[in-house]
Amino acid sequence: MHLILSAPENRPFLEQELLRALPTSVLEPLGDSMLALKAPGSWSEIRTAVGLTVFARQWLPEARSFPVPSIRAAAETLVTELIGCLPEGAPWRLQVEPRFGVADAGRHRCELIRDSVIEQLRKRRRSLLKGLDAVPKAALGDPNRACPLFQPEESLVQLLLTSLEVGFLSILPAPGPFTSMGCVSPFPLGEVPVAVDKAAPSRAFAKLAESERRMGRAIVAGETCVDLGAAPGSWTYQPVQRGARVIAVDRSPLRDDLMRSPRVTFHQGDAFRFVPETPVDWLLCDVIAAPERSIGLVLEWVRERRCRYFVVTIKFKGQEDYAQLDVLKREMPRWVESFQLLHLCANKNEACVFGTVGDGPLKNAGGGSSSLANFL
Protein backbone atom coordinates (compact mmCIF):
# COMPACT_ATOMS: atom_id res chain seq x y z
CA MET A 1 0.00 0.00 0.00
CA HIS A 2 1.12 3.54 -0.76
CA LEU A 3 0.02 6.47 1.39
CA ILE A 4 -0.43 9.86 -0.28
CA LEU A 5 -0.97 13.12 1.61
CA SER A 6 -2.69 16.31 0.49
CA ALA A 7 -4.15 19.45 1.96
CA PRO A 8 -7.61 18.57 3.39
CA GLU A 9 -9.47 20.73 0.88
CA ASN A 10 -7.65 19.09 -2.04
CA ARG A 11 -8.11 15.41 -1.25
CA PRO A 12 -11.13 14.98 -3.63
CA PHE A 13 -9.12 16.50 -6.48
CA LEU A 14 -6.13 14.28 -5.70
CA GLU A 15 -8.44 11.26 -5.84
CA GLN A 16 -9.70 12.33 -9.29
CA GLU A 17 -6.13 12.81 -10.54
CA LEU A 18 -5.01 9.39 -9.38
CA LEU A 19 -8.02 7.64 -10.90
CA ARG A 20 -7.35 9.33 -14.26
CA ALA A 21 -3.70 8.28 -14.14
CA LEU A 22 -4.24 4.81 -12.62
CA PRO A 23 -7.80 3.79 -13.57
CA THR A 24 -7.46 0.26 -12.15
CA SER A 25 -6.22 1.45 -8.77
CA VAL A 26 -8.14 1.21 -5.50
CA LEU A 27 -8.23 4.32 -3.32
CA GLU A 28 -9.29 4.40 0.32
CA PRO A 29 -9.67 7.74 2.13
CA LEU A 30 -7.96 7.83 5.52
CA GLY A 31 -9.10 10.93 7.32
CA ASP A 32 -9.60 14.17 5.44
CA SER A 33 -6.09 14.52 3.99
CA MET A 34 -4.78 11.02 3.19
CA LEU A 35 -5.41 8.38 0.55
CA ALA A 36 -4.32 4.75 0.66
CA LEU A 37 -3.41 3.64 -2.87
CA LYS A 38 -3.37 0.05 -4.05
CA ALA A 39 -2.47 -0.21 -7.72
CA PRO A 40 -1.28 -2.93 -10.08
CA GLY A 41 1.66 -2.19 -12.31
CA SER A 42 5.34 -1.54 -11.94
CA TRP A 43 7.02 0.70 -9.38
CA SER A 44 8.01 3.01 -12.24
CA GLU A 45 4.40 3.41 -13.43
CA ILE A 46 3.13 4.19 -9.95
CA ARG A 47 5.98 6.61 -9.28
CA THR A 48 5.32 8.45 -12.55
CA ALA A 49 1.59 8.73 -11.83
CA VAL A 50 2.14 10.02 -8.28
CA GLY A 51 4.88 12.39 -9.46
CA LEU A 52 2.49 14.07 -11.88
CA THR A 53 -0.24 14.72 -9.33
CA VAL A 54 -0.81 18.40 -8.66
CA PHE A 55 -2.54 18.01 -5.32
CA ALA A 56 -0.23 15.47 -3.61
CA ARG A 57 2.00 16.89 -0.86
CA GLN A 58 3.87 13.77 0.20
CA TRP A 59 4.15 10.09 -0.72
CA LEU A 60 4.90 7.25 1.70
CA PRO A 61 5.73 4.35 -0.63
CA GLU A 62 5.11 0.81 0.59
CA ALA A 63 3.66 2.15 3.84
CA ARG A 64 2.53 -0.31 6.48
CA SER A 65 0.79 -0.05 9.81
CA PHE A 66 3.13 0.62 12.72
CA PRO A 67 2.00 0.22 16.37
CA VAL A 68 3.06 2.80 18.94
CA PRO A 69 2.29 1.17 22.31
CA SER A 70 4.81 3.47 23.98
CA ILE A 71 7.54 5.86 22.95
CA ARG A 72 10.34 3.50 23.94
CA ALA A 73 8.72 0.42 22.34
CA ALA A 74 8.10 2.27 19.08
CA ALA A 75 11.71 3.47 18.97
CA GLU A 76 13.11 0.01 19.69
CA THR A 77 11.00 -1.58 16.94
CA LEU A 78 11.96 1.10 14.44
CA VAL A 79 15.67 0.83 15.20
CA THR A 80 15.53 -2.94 14.74
CA GLU A 81 14.00 -2.43 11.29
CA LEU A 82 16.56 0.22 10.35
CA ILE A 83 19.48 -2.01 11.31
CA GLY A 84 18.18 -4.61 8.91
CA CYS A 85 17.68 -2.42 5.85
CA LEU A 86 19.90 0.70 5.90
CA PRO A 87 23.58 0.58 4.87
CA GLU A 88 25.92 1.61 7.65
CA GLY A 89 27.54 5.02 7.31
CA ALA A 90 25.33 6.10 4.39
CA PRO A 91 23.21 9.27 4.75
CA TRP A 92 19.52 8.99 5.61
CA ARG A 93 16.73 11.23 6.80
CA LEU A 94 14.19 10.51 9.52
CA GLN A 95 10.80 12.23 9.47
CA VAL A 96 8.50 11.52 12.42
CA GLU A 97 5.33 13.56 12.01
CA PRO A 98 1.75 13.66 13.37
CA ARG A 99 -1.35 13.55 11.18
CA PHE A 100 -4.25 13.67 13.62
CA GLY A 101 -6.17 16.13 15.72
CA VAL A 102 -5.82 19.86 15.25
CA ALA A 103 -2.90 22.27 15.21
CA ASP A 104 0.20 20.53 16.64
CA ALA A 105 -1.58 17.57 18.20
CA GLY A 106 0.92 14.76 18.55
CA ARG A 107 3.95 16.94 17.78
CA HIS A 108 5.51 16.42 21.20
CA ARG A 109 5.02 12.65 21.02
CA CYS A 110 6.73 12.57 17.61
CA GLU A 111 9.68 14.53 18.95
CA LEU A 112 10.01 12.13 21.89
CA ILE A 113 9.97 9.11 19.53
CA ARG A 114 12.65 10.69 17.39
CA ASP A 115 14.81 11.42 20.46
CA SER A 116 14.34 7.86 21.65
CA VAL A 117 15.41 6.50 18.23
CA ILE A 118 18.62 8.52 18.47
CA GLU A 119 19.22 7.24 22.00
CA GLN A 120 18.71 3.64 20.85
CA LEU A 121 21.08 4.10 17.90
CA ARG A 122 23.79 5.38 20.24
CA LYS A 123 23.51 2.13 22.19
CA ARG A 124 22.97 -0.33 19.35
CA ARG A 125 24.39 1.01 16.07
CA ARG A 126 26.44 4.21 16.16
CA SER A 127 27.46 3.76 12.53
CA LEU A 128 23.85 4.39 11.47
CA LEU A 129 23.65 7.47 13.68
CA LYS A 130 26.57 9.05 11.81
CA GLY A 131 24.53 9.16 8.61
CA LEU A 132 21.34 10.52 10.17
CA ASP A 133 20.17 13.90 8.91
CA ALA A 134 23.28 14.96 7.06
CA VAL A 135 21.00 17.83 5.98
CA PRO A 136 20.41 20.09 9.01
CA LYS A 137 16.78 20.33 10.07
CA ALA A 138 17.13 24.12 10.06
CA ALA A 139 17.66 24.05 6.31
CA LEU A 140 14.23 22.48 5.85
CA GLY A 141 12.45 24.89 8.21
CA ASP A 142 14.02 28.16 7.06
CA PRO A 143 11.85 29.69 4.29
CA ASN A 144 14.75 31.88 3.18
CA ARG A 145 17.09 29.01 2.32
CA ALA A 146 17.10 26.74 -0.71
CA CYS A 147 16.30 23.20 0.36
CA PRO A 148 18.99 20.58 -0.19
CA LEU A 149 17.38 17.90 -2.35
CA PHE A 150 17.97 14.18 -1.99
CA GLN A 151 21.35 12.77 -2.97
CA PRO A 152 21.69 9.43 -4.83
CA GLU A 153 23.11 7.65 -1.78
CA GLU A 154 20.45 8.96 0.63
CA SER A 155 17.58 6.94 2.18
CA LEU A 156 14.34 8.25 3.67
CA VAL A 157 12.45 6.92 6.69
CA GLN A 158 8.97 8.31 7.34
CA LEU A 159 6.90 7.51 10.42
CA LEU A 160 3.47 9.13 10.30
CA LEU A 161 1.38 8.99 13.48
CA THR A 162 -2.36 8.92 12.79
CA SER A 163 -3.19 8.61 16.49
CA LEU A 164 -1.30 8.34 19.77
CA GLU A 165 -1.14 4.53 19.45
CA VAL A 166 -0.68 3.78 15.74
CA GLY A 167 0.85 5.15 12.58
CA PHE A 168 2.33 4.22 9.21
CA LEU A 169 5.96 3.45 8.46
CA SER A 170 7.65 3.85 5.08
CA ILE A 171 11.33 3.05 4.50
CA LEU A 172 12.67 4.04 1.08
CA PRO A 173 16.30 2.93 0.69
CA ALA A 174 18.72 4.74 -1.59
CA PRO A 175 18.54 5.65 -4.38
CA GLY A 176 14.74 5.66 -4.05
CA PRO A 177 14.34 9.22 -2.68
CA PHE A 178 16.68 10.62 -5.35
CA THR A 179 14.95 8.83 -8.25
CA SER A 180 11.51 9.70 -6.85
CA MET A 181 12.00 13.44 -6.38
CA GLY A 182 8.86 15.22 -7.46
CA CYS A 183 6.63 12.78 -5.59
CA VAL A 184 8.67 12.12 -2.43
CA SER A 185 9.34 15.47 -0.80
CA PRO A 186 12.40 16.26 1.34
CA PHE A 187 10.07 18.40 3.49
CA PRO A 188 8.23 16.63 6.32
CA LEU A 189 4.60 16.06 5.25
CA GLY A 190 5.58 17.80 2.02
CA GLU A 191 4.85 21.13 3.64
CA VAL A 192 7.05 24.18 3.13
CA PRO A 193 6.87 27.02 5.69
CA VAL A 194 5.36 30.04 3.94
CA ALA A 195 7.88 32.85 3.63
CA VAL A 196 7.05 36.20 5.23
CA ASP A 197 8.50 39.57 4.21
CA LYS A 198 6.54 42.66 5.22
CA ALA A 199 8.61 44.80 2.84
CA ALA A 200 7.45 42.89 -0.24
CA PRO A 201 4.78 44.58 -2.40
CA SER A 202 2.34 41.72 -1.69
CA ARG A 203 2.18 38.22 -0.23
CA ALA A 204 2.44 36.77 -3.74
CA PHE A 205 6.24 36.64 -3.37
CA ALA A 206 5.76 33.59 -1.10
CA LYS A 207 4.83 31.47 -4.14
CA LEU A 208 8.15 32.22 -5.81
CA ALA A 209 10.05 31.60 -2.56
CA GLU A 210 8.37 28.21 -2.09
CA SER A 211 8.97 27.18 -5.71
CA GLU A 212 12.68 27.94 -5.34
CA ARG A 213 12.88 25.88 -2.16
CA ARG A 214 11.18 22.90 -3.78
CA MET A 215 13.51 23.17 -6.78
CA GLY A 216 16.56 23.34 -4.55
CA ARG A 217 17.71 26.29 -6.63
CA ALA A 218 17.45 30.01 -5.89
CA ILE A 219 17.79 33.10 -8.06
CA VAL A 220 21.23 34.58 -7.40
CA ALA A 221 23.16 37.78 -8.07
CA GLY A 222 24.21 38.25 -11.66
CA GLU A 223 21.32 36.29 -13.18
CA THR A 224 18.71 37.84 -15.46
CA CYS A 225 14.98 37.27 -14.94
CA VAL A 226 11.96 38.17 -17.03
CA ASP A 227 8.90 38.85 -14.85
CA LEU A 228 5.73 38.76 -16.97
CA GLY A 229 2.69 40.46 -15.47
CA ALA A 230 5.00 41.95 -12.89
CA ALA A 231 2.90 44.67 -11.16
CA PRO A 232 2.93 45.53 -8.31
CA GLY A 233 6.32 43.79 -8.20
CA SER A 234 6.44 40.94 -5.68
CA TRP A 235 8.17 38.57 -8.10
CA THR A 236 10.54 41.36 -9.16
CA TYR A 237 11.29 42.40 -5.57
CA GLN A 238 12.85 39.10 -4.51
CA PRO A 239 15.43 38.77 -7.35
CA VAL A 240 16.35 42.45 -7.00
CA GLN A 241 16.99 41.95 -3.27
CA ARG A 242 19.51 39.24 -4.20
CA GLY A 243 21.35 41.27 -6.82
CA ALA A 244 19.73 39.83 -9.95
CA ARG A 245 18.62 41.90 -12.93
CA VAL A 246 14.91 41.88 -13.80
CA ILE A 247 13.11 42.75 -17.02
CA ALA A 248 9.61 43.49 -15.73
CA VAL A 249 6.69 43.50 -18.17
CA ASP A 250 3.21 44.81 -17.35
CA ARG A 251 0.64 47.32 -18.53
CA SER A 252 0.82 48.98 -15.09
CA PRO A 253 3.94 50.28 -13.33
CA LEU A 254 5.56 48.56 -10.37
CA ARG A 255 5.90 49.99 -6.88
CA ASP A 256 7.88 53.23 -6.95
CA ASP A 257 11.06 51.90 -5.35
CA LEU A 258 11.23 49.06 -7.88
CA MET A 259 10.63 51.43 -10.79
CA ARG A 260 13.64 53.43 -9.59
CA SER A 261 15.89 50.41 -9.08
CA PRO A 262 18.90 50.25 -11.44
CA ARG A 263 18.44 46.47 -11.54
CA VAL A 264 14.93 46.74 -13.05
CA THR A 265 14.18 47.38 -16.71
CA PHE A 266 10.46 48.08 -17.13
CA HIS A 267 8.59 47.35 -20.36
CA GLN A 268 5.03 48.62 -20.45
CA GLY A 269 2.96 46.25 -22.52
CA ASP A 270 1.33 42.85 -22.93
CA ALA A 271 3.08 40.07 -21.01
CA PHE A 272 1.95 37.50 -23.58
CA ARG A 273 3.57 39.33 -26.48
CA PHE A 274 6.95 40.02 -24.90
CA VAL A 275 9.96 38.16 -26.29
CA PRO A 276 13.46 38.86 -24.90
CA GLU A 277 16.20 39.85 -27.32
CA THR A 278 18.44 37.11 -25.95
CA PRO A 279 17.68 34.09 -23.73
CA VAL A 280 17.52 34.76 -19.99
CA ASP A 281 18.19 32.73 -16.86
CA TRP A 282 14.68 32.78 -15.38
CA LEU A 283 11.11 33.12 -16.64
CA LEU A 284 8.84 34.33 -13.81
CA CYS A 285 5.12 34.76 -14.37
CA ASP A 286 2.33 35.29 -11.85
CA VAL A 287 0.01 37.06 -14.28
CA ILE A 288 -3.76 36.96 -13.84
CA ALA A 289 -4.98 35.15 -16.94
CA ALA A 290 -7.12 32.27 -18.11
CA PRO A 291 -5.32 28.98 -17.44
CA GLU A 292 -5.03 28.07 -21.11
CA ARG A 293 -3.14 31.30 -21.81
CA SER A 294 -0.60 30.75 -19.03
CA ILE A 295 -0.16 27.09 -20.03
CA GLY A 296 0.44 28.10 -23.64
CA LEU A 297 2.91 30.78 -22.57
CA VAL A 298 5.16 28.56 -20.46
CA LEU A 299 5.12 25.81 -23.10
CA GLU A 300 6.18 28.29 -25.77
CA TRP A 301 9.02 29.65 -23.63
CA VAL A 302 10.45 26.24 -22.81
CA ARG A 303 9.97 24.93 -26.35
CA GLU A 304 11.86 27.92 -27.75
CA ARG A 305 14.43 27.64 -24.92
CA ARG A 306 14.18 31.31 -24.00
CA CYS A 307 15.13 30.58 -20.37
CA ARG A 308 17.05 28.08 -18.26
CA TYR A 309 14.63 27.98 -15.33
CA PHE A 310 10.98 28.88 -14.97
CA VAL A 311 8.31 29.50 -12.33
CA VAL A 312 4.79 30.15 -13.65
CA THR A 313 1.45 30.32 -11.85
CA ILE A 314 -1.61 28.76 -13.46
CA LYS A 315 -4.70 30.47 -12.07
CA PHE A 316 -8.11 28.81 -12.12
CA LYS A 317 -11.56 30.25 -12.58
CA GLY A 318 -13.14 27.12 -11.12
CA GLN A 319 -12.63 23.44 -10.47
CA GLU A 320 -13.52 22.64 -14.07
CA ASP A 321 -10.16 24.18 -15.09
CA TYR A 322 -8.08 21.60 -13.22
CA ALA A 323 -8.21 19.09 -16.07
CA GLN A 324 -6.34 21.56 -18.31
CA LEU A 325 -3.22 20.83 -16.27
CA ASP A 326 -3.09 17.44 -18.00
CA VAL A 327 -1.71 19.30 -21.03
CA LEU A 328 1.33 20.35 -18.98
CA LYS A 329 1.76 16.83 -17.61
CA ARG A 330 1.84 15.49 -21.16
CA GLU A 331 3.90 18.19 -22.89
CA MET A 332 6.47 19.31 -20.32
CA PRO A 333 8.56 16.10 -20.40
CA ARG A 334 9.17 16.68 -24.11
CA TRP A 335 10.83 20.06 -23.60
CA VAL A 336 12.45 20.27 -20.17
CA GLU A 337 15.06 18.50 -18.10
CA SER A 338 12.88 18.44 -14.97
CA PHE A 339 9.71 20.07 -13.67
CA GLN A 340 7.12 19.99 -10.91
CA LEU A 341 3.47 20.98 -11.15
CA LEU A 342 2.03 21.51 -7.68
CA HIS A 343 -0.58 23.21 -5.60
CA LEU A 344 1.83 24.96 -3.22
CA CYS A 345 1.29 25.74 0.44
CA ALA A 346 1.26 29.40 -0.64
CA ASN A 347 -1.23 28.85 -3.49
CA LYS A 348 -4.93 29.63 -3.37
CA ASN A 349 -7.11 28.67 -6.37
CA GLU A 350 -4.06 28.12 -8.54
CA ALA A 351 -1.02 25.90 -9.06
CA CYS A 352 2.61 26.56 -9.95
CA VAL A 353 4.75 24.85 -12.58
CA PHE A 354 8.50 25.23 -12.14
CA GLY A 355 11.65 23.52 -13.25
CA THR A 356 14.79 23.42 -15.37
CA VAL A 357 14.88 23.67 -19.14
CA GLY A 358 18.47 22.44 -19.18
CA ASP A 359 22.05 23.63 -19.50
CA GLY A 360 22.41 23.02 -23.23
CA PRO A 361 22.72 25.86 -25.73
CA LEU A 362 19.64 28.06 -25.67
CA LYS A 363 17.91 29.15 -28.84
CA ASN A 364 17.91 32.76 -29.88
CA ALA A 365 14.70 34.32 -28.68
CA GLY A 366 12.17 34.56 -31.44
CA GLY A 367 8.54 35.04 -32.24
CA GLY A 368 5.74 32.57 -31.94
CA SER A 369 2.25 32.21 -30.61
CA SER A 370 1.58 31.14 -27.05
CA SER A 371 -1.79 29.69 -27.97
CA LEU A 372 -2.58 26.46 -26.16
CA ALA A 373 -3.92 25.11 -29.47
CA ASN A 374 -0.32 24.74 -30.67
CA PHE A 375 0.25 22.00 -28.10
CA LEU A 376 -3.01 20.06 -28.38
Instruction: Please write the tens of the pLDDT for every residue from 161-209.
Output: 999 999 999 999 998 898 887 789 999 999 988 778 889 999 999 999 9
Q: Is the pLDDT of residue 361 over 50?
A: no
Cα separation, 324 vs 341, in Å, equals: 12
* Burial label, 24 (beta-carbon count in 10 A; 0-12, 13-18, 19+): exposed
300-355, pLDDT tens digit by residue?
Answer: 999 999 999 999 999 998 888 888 899 999 999 999 999 999 999 999 999 999 99
**Segment among 131-135, 151-155, 226-230 with least mean pLDDT:** 131-135
33-87, pLDDT tens digit by residue?
Answer: 999 999 887 878 888 888 889 999 999 999 999 999 999 999 999 999 999 899 8
Q: Categorize the per-residue pLDDT at 366 as very low, low, confident or very high, splitting at 50, 70 and 90.
A: very low
* Mean pLDDT score, 123-138: 79
232-282, pLDDT tens digit by residue?
Answer: 999 999 999 999 999 999 999 999 999 999 999 999 999 999 999 999 999
* Mean pLDDT score, 287-311: 96
Q: Where are the domains of the chain?
A: 57-190, 205-375
* Mean pLDDT score, 2-21: 92
For 153, what's the count of Cα atoms within 13 Å in the CB-facing half-sphere?
10
pLDDT of residue 142: 57
For 112, what's the count of Cα atoms within 13 Å in the CB-facing half-sphere?
12
Q: Categorize the per-residue pLDDT at 369 as very low, low, confident or very high, splitting at 50, 70 and 90.
A: very low
105-116, pLDDT tens digit by residue?
Answer: 799 999 999 999
The proportion of the chain whose per-residue pLDDT surpasses 90, expressed as a percent, equals 71
Q: Comparing C-alpha atoms, which of 263, 233, 238 is closest to residue 250?
A: 233
| pTM: predicted TM-score of the whole model, two decimal places | 0.88
SS3 readout for 326-363: HHHHHHHHHHCCEEEEECCCCCCCEEEEEEECCCCCCC
Domain with residues 205-375, CATH architecture: 3-Layer(aba) Sandwich (3.40)
Task: Tell me the catalytic residues.
Answer: 315
Cα separations (Å) of 199 from 210, 257, 314?
17, 11, 25
Cα separation, 139 vs 328, in Å, equals: 30
